């Protein structure tokens, strides 16, 4: 039985779990001793360093277990953006190629896209940005056609943060490896929500983000397969296999380990199926009461169990959510000085501006209940029907 979360009681229904998750009270309890009495430096050889050192190893082992890796392949970082940059820029700078080539796709997270633009600008790297189809998926044949003898890295996310679309990572990895390149996968949205195994996927690098899976902000990890060489972003005392210098933040590392352990148990208990059933209940509740007006953005199958991205004809997403402050959710649009523009992700999928601007991202999580789902459906139907 999952304990109730005190911060979610009595407030708006929280359906923005893809933006960030509440810290699980069990995670907070696990990390607290390392903010208080167990303060030692894990590199110290005396009594105060032993327990933090052991805690660090346990945390690394638990994160590794979530994705089928070995503890030594886990590098703790301060954010998913840092992990993505370490993977991408680290691979480019370590490459023994005069003008390295990187491939990504147009709906990647900005952490990857901006890192690609940086290596283009700063290091003369050639970057190819693959298009996606109407469901937001990369065509493996397009990847095969884009690979060259200079390609050092392909970076494709496991799941899109807006639509939940799951990319065919295993197939993309096989294609990438056939050309001798590495595959990096940003799994920020997927880790803990669906089963992931780095061996089955065939990835060389994979990003995990704590605040997307009930740990605090400020902690993430990069899986670095044995044998992969990266240039560090931060130089210093040799921590994290020499890839990320700086005294380890043991409390946050422990938090990520605890969150990973809880995710393993939750998946084993069918938590992903429970959430998928609630997502589908919400979708059906809206579609049945607003017939012909509900449009699913992204694939019907092959998406995250917690993510529902829909457009409601005759509405604008930001106006609809403003009309129902009882719901905490998001849209795919960006606001610049009061002017809302369509989501680049939905535009890349070929959606027109009207449908893109009507989009709502409703992302469920560990504490979402059937009563909340029914309440959200009622609120949205009422608000959409009055426009």
Where are the domain boundaries for CATH 3.90.1150.10 in the chain?
A: 270-385
- Contact present, 99 and 244 (Cβ < 8 Å): no
Q: The domain 270-385 is classified under which CATH number: 2.60.40.10, 3.90.1150.10, 3.90.1580.10, 3.30.1300.10?
A: 3.90.1150.10
Q: What is the band of 3 on the pLDDT scale with cuts at 50, 70, 90?
A: low
For the domain 25-267, what is the CATH code? 3.40.640.10
Of the candidates 198, 106, 117, the one whose C-alpha atom is nearest the C-alpha of residue 143 is 106
- Residue 387 confidence (pLDDT): 45
Tens digit of pLDDT for each residue in 321-339? Answer: 999 999 999 997 554 445 5
Pairing mode of beta strands 294-296, 307-312 = antiparallel
- Residue 364 confidence (pLDDT): 98
Instruction: Determine the Cα–Cα distance for residues 34 and 27; give it in Å rounded to an integer.
Output: 12
What lies within 8 Å, CB to CB, of 335 at 6+ separation is 318, 341
Of the candidates 137, 138, 60, the one whose C-alpha atom is nearest the C-alpha of residue 103 is 138
Instruction: Please state the length of the chain.
Output: 387
Where are the domain boundaries for CATH 3.40.640.10 in the chain?
A: 25-267
Catalytic residue annotation: 335
Cross-sheet strand order for the sheet of 307-312: 294-296, 307-312, 359-363
- Residue 43 confidence (pLDDT): 86
350-376 burial, b at 16+ Cβ within 10 Å, e below that, comes to ebeeebbbbbbbbbbbbbbeeebbeeb
Q: What is the mean pLDDT of the chain?
A: 94
Handedness of CA 29, 33, 35, 41 (dihedral sign): negative
Tens digit of pLDDT for each residue in 255-278? Answer: 999 999 999 999 999 999 999 999
pTM above 0.85, yes or no: yes
């Amino acid at each position: 039985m999952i304990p109730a979360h005190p911060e979610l009681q009595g407030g708006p229904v929280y359906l923005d779990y893809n933006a960030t998750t509440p810290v699980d009270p069990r995670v907070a309890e696990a990390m607290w001793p390392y903010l208080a009495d167990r303060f030692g430096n894990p590199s110290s050889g005396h009594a105060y360093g032993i327990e933090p050192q052991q805690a660090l190893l346990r945390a690394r082992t638990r994160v590794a277990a979530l994705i089928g890796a070995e503890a030594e392949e886990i590098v703790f970082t301060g954010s998913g953006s840092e992990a993505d940059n370490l993977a991408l820029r680290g691979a480019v700078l370590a490459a023994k190629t005069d003008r390295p080539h990187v491939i990504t796709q147009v709906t990647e997270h900005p952490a990857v896209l901006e890192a690609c633009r940086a290596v283009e600008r700063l290091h003369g790297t050639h970057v190819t940005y693959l298009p996606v189809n109407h469901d937001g998926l990369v065509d493996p044949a397009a990847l095969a056609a884009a690979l060259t003898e200079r390609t050092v890295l392909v970076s494709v996310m496991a799941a899109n943060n807006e639509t939940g679309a799951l990319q065919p990572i295993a197939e993309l990895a096989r294609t990438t490896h056939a050309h001798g390149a590495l595959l990096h996968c940003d799994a920020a949205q997927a880790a803990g929500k669906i089963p992931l195994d780095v061996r089955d996927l065939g990835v060389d690098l994979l990003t995990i983000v704590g605040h997307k899976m009930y740990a605090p902000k400020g902690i993430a990890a990069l899986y670095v397969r044995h044998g992969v060489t990266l240039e560090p972003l931060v130089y210093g005392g040799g921590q994290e296999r020499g890839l990320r210098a700086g005294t380890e933040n043991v409390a946050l590392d422990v938090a990520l380990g605890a969150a990973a352990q809880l995710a393993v148990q939750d998946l084993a208990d069918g938590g992903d199926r429970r959430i998928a059933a609630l997502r589908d209940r919400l979708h059906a509740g809206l579609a049945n009461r607003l017939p012909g007006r509900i449009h699913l953005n992204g694939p019907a199958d092959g998406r995250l169990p917690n993510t529902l991205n829909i457009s409601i004809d005759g509405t604008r997403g930001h106006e609809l959510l403003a009309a129902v402050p009882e719901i905490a959710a998001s849209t795919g649009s960006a606001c610049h000085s009061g002017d809302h523009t369509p989501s680049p992700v939905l535009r890349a999928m070929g959606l027109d501006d009207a449908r893109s601007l009507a989009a709502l991202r409703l992302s469920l999580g560990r504490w979402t209940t059937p009563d909340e789902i029914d309440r959200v459906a009622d609120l949205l139907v009422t608000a959409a029907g009055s426009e």
